[in-house]
Amino acid sequence: MTSRRDFLRAAGAAALAGCAPSAHPPLPPGELLGMDAALGHRLRDGGFPPPAETRRTGIVIVGAGISGLSAAWRLARSAVDDFLVVDMESGAGGNSRAGASPVTAYPWGAHYLPLPGTEAVLVRELLAELGALQGDPAARRPVYDERLLCATPQERVFRDGLWEEGLLPQRAVDAGERGQQRRFHEHMDELKRARGRDGRRAFALPMARSSADPQWRALDRISFARWLDEHGYTAPTVRWLADYACRDDYGTSAAQTSAWAGLHYFACRDGEAANAAPDCVLTAPDGNAWLMRGLARHAEGRLQAGALVWRIDEGKAGVAVDVLRDGKTVRIEAKRLIWAAPAFVLPRVWPAIPGALRGAALAGDYAPWLVANLHLSAPPEERHGAPPAWDNVLFDSAGLGYVNATHQALRRHPGPTVFTCYRALHELTPAEGRRRLLDTPRAAWAEALLGELERVHPDVRRLATRLDVFRYGHAMRRPVPGSLFGGGRDILAGFRHPRIALAHADLSGFSLFEEAQYRGVLAADRVLGRA
């Protein structure tokens, strides 16, 4: 299989080749999409017009990702409707946005939600509101809407020319390696039950409910790769699974990830269902966009897209927020502000930001990501082994594999489909990754992606009808060793201000739906004087 560096090299070579003759069929049409980098870079370049008009509202929420929409959800459910949500992008959603075509809807980012445990109270409340969770939201094993439970088979992995069911390869693995696999799973099960001296679970979701016991938090000071070394996990398949997990959730390799965060991935999720296996996930053709829309309903009529916040000023009685929209500046005067955009942007727009908060906001770095949606006229040719699944992972490859957007349709006669392909650029520094995203044309990404997939599906080029590529320059804050406890993240999460509250998954140190929702709700409670 193609290595990660090989993929990046292939993309770069394709970019340099330009329109050189190729033996391959012409690339399918498509677009190069992404967050509005040009508008975002206006913050760096300046030159904004003075306010042309003024609006007033009780609470202004900056950012319409999951955290901002969750804050709006909490406010609306608390009978507060005097608020306004603004976002720089053309629509709401953040990392949970989605697209659609005549074939199907498909995700542009997050594509599943694990079964929430009893600690994920807010997630369960939302699921119950949306009808996804049926009965008592506090039940240990609730019933979930069958249409949202991932259809089987849920996942498979391609290794050495064959597909295998599940994510941990079993074929051609000797007894010693199988023993390590078994020991690793048993160890993770033990950690799910582990508690600190304060009585809390060592690894909870949301992470703020995890134990503050120094014994567990000390794991943040080393990498996940080092923790695996120290515990004798050397088997190639075990190391691959750990690395894949970190790339999948954090955009980092195991060597780049805090051991606490790496273990949190495996040990925090303890949800169960009365009508599904514990490892089942909730999903839809458009990924997590159905959750985003459920939250966004509460901000209907109070959400302004294409609105770039470029200055925040505090006053004696409130906050003034200058917003660039349609080429003119609108000043929004509000009693309270919820900042639900990435933390690193805040120092650029708030001149009076406290020094310690400024340092904390700028201390983290962000993983660049690439997502591609590949339209196919028919399902591609299959290699031998396990049948097609929802999540199809390529062992030791450049990418994280692909999700089949029509898997939930349970078609008797499969037809056209869309594969959503994910790729973390962790082989590059974050700054290098962002430059690569900006400088590489769509054709180069498309050529590299198809070249990788045709090793698994030989006819994929012939069947491809469209290939769109979406770039995330700052997809999520990276939980590198030392970043979670005793430093900048603690300052962000502990920040208190009479008129400004922070809300974003950055306050947790990594990006999960559960974390973003928790931080948004907590910020809403703070501006309401409840926390």
**Element containing residue 31 per DSSP (H, E):** none
Total count of domains within the chain: 3
User: Do the domain assignments include residue 173?
Assistant: yes
Domain that holds residue 211: 155-279
pLDDT digits (tens, 9 = 90+) for 335-380: 999 999 999 999 999 999 999 999 999 999 999 999 999 999 999 9
Alpha-helical regions (H) of 268-411:
289-296, 346-349, 355-363
Same domain? 185 vs 273:
yes
Bridge partners (DSSP) listed for residue 376: 417, 464
User: Do the domain assignments include residue 130?
Assistant: no
Same domain? 84 vs 191:
no
Same domain? 237 vs 341:
no
Same domain? 427 vs 491:
no
What is the three-class DSSP state of 332?
Answer: strand
Same domain? 271 vs 160:
yes
CA–CA distance, 451 with 40 (Å, rounded to integer): 33
CA–CA distance, 519 with 503 (Å, rounded to integer): 5
Same domain? 519 vs 375:
no
Q: Which of 222, 254, 279 is the last residue of a domain?
A: 279
DSSP 199-267: SSBSS-SSGGGS---HHHHGGGGSBHHHHHHHTT---HHHHHHHHHHHHHHHSS-GGGSBHHHHHHHHH
Same domain? 179 vs 274:
yes
Please report, for the domain that includes residue 414, its CATH number. Answer: 3.90.660.10
Q: Which of 279, 312, 334 is the last residue of a domain?
A: 279
User: Do the domain assignments include residue 393?
Assistant: yes
> Would you state the pLDDT for residue 20?
42
Please report, for the domain that includes residue 163, its CATH number. Answer: 1.10.405.10
Please report, for the domain that includes residue 45, its CATH number. Answer: 3.50.50.60
Contact by Cβ (8 Å): 302, 72? yes
> Would you state the pLDDT for residue 41?
78
φ, ψ of residue 137 to 5 degrees: the values are -65, -20
Q: Which of 223, 250, 279 is the last residue of a domain?
A: 279
> Would you state the pLDDT for residue 456?
94
Q: 276: which DSSP letter?
A: B
Bridge partners (DSSP) listed for residue 469: 32, 372
> Would you state the pLDDT for residue 11?
61
Same domain? 188 vs 216:
yes
User: Do the domain assignments include residue 150?
Assistant: no
> Would you state the pLDDT for residue 40?
76
Side chain identity at residue 336, one-letter code: R
Residue of 436, 446, 441, 393 lying closest to 5 (CA atoms):
436
> Would you state the pLDDT for residue 144?
98
> Would you state the pLDDT for residue 2?
47
CA–CA distance, 422 with 326 (Å, rounded to integer): 33
Same domain? 372 vs 449:
yes
**Element containing residue 55 per DSSP (H, E):** strand 51-62
Side chain identity at residue 138, one-letter code: A
CA–CA distance, 149 with 158 (Å, rounded to integer): 23
> Would you state the pLDDT for residue 481?
98
Same domain? 298 vs 358:
yes
Q: Which residues of the chain have pLDDT under 70?
A: 1-24, 412
Contact by Cβ (8 Å): 271, 280? no
Q: How many whole angstroms from its chain centre is CA 11?
A: 23
**Which residues make Cβ contacts (< 8 Å) with residue 108, sequence separation at least 6?**
33, 93, 97, 98, 99, 287, 371, 373, 420, 470
Contact by Cβ (8 Å): 461, 235? no
In 315-388, DSSP assigns E strands to 319-325, 328-339, 366-376
Same domain? 64 vs 213:
no
Same domain? 459 vs 383:
yes
**Element containing residue 299 per DSSP (H, E):** none
